[in-house]
Amino acid sequence: MSIEPLLIVLAEDDDGHASLVQRNLERAGLANRLHRLKDGQEALDFLRGEGDYAGRNTSQPVLVLLDIKMPRVDGVEVLRQLKADPRTALIPVIMLTTTDDPREIQRCYELGCSVYVTKPVDYQGFVEAIKRLGLFLQVVRVPENGHR
């Protein structure tokens, strides 16, 4: 049995942040394929294989990088819905945000996020955070029964 490579799903509405995340993950040596989604509803549809993504193979292991402040459905609500759905509950979710509000961080952990990463506002700090994240992502293991 061959193991499918982990697909990294980036839900980020800001094009600048998204390209910065992608570029720095590649620089950090991450070879995994990255799929970008622009809002929370699109992320939910993609991960569930619904809407525009009806019929998508949802058995491939995924890791979600989830921005909190997004249009239509925000990242916290996406996290809540993913963890409440048995089909997606075991998907690891890393929250990406510029907010370091301890209440928001606590809420995300209570809802089941794997890691909460604060995006530093300054460019160099943001690059360093993504590089560290890239190194972390290389060793993440997805639960074997994470999908239907």
CATH of residue 102's domain is 3.40.50.2300
CA distance 80 to 137: 22
Residue type, 29: G
Q: Is residue 65 part of a domain?
A: yes
Q: Is residue 107 part of a domain?
A: yes
Q: Is residue 143 part of a domain?
A: no
pTM for this entry: 0.83
Tell me: the pLDDT tens digits for 77-88? 999 999 999 999
Q: Is residue 2 part of a domain?
A: no
Domain span at residue 88 reads 8-137
Provide the number of structural domains found in the chain. Answer: 1
Tell me: the pLDDT tens digits for 15-28? 988 998 888 888 77
DSSP string, 11-63: E-S-HHHHHHHHHHHHHTT--S-EEEESSHHHHHHHHHT-GGGTT--TTS-EE
Residue 2 confidence (pLDDT): 52
Name the pLDDT band for 112 (thresholds 50, 70, 90): very high
Longest Cα–Cα distance in the chain:
45
Q: Is residue 25 part of a domain?
A: yes
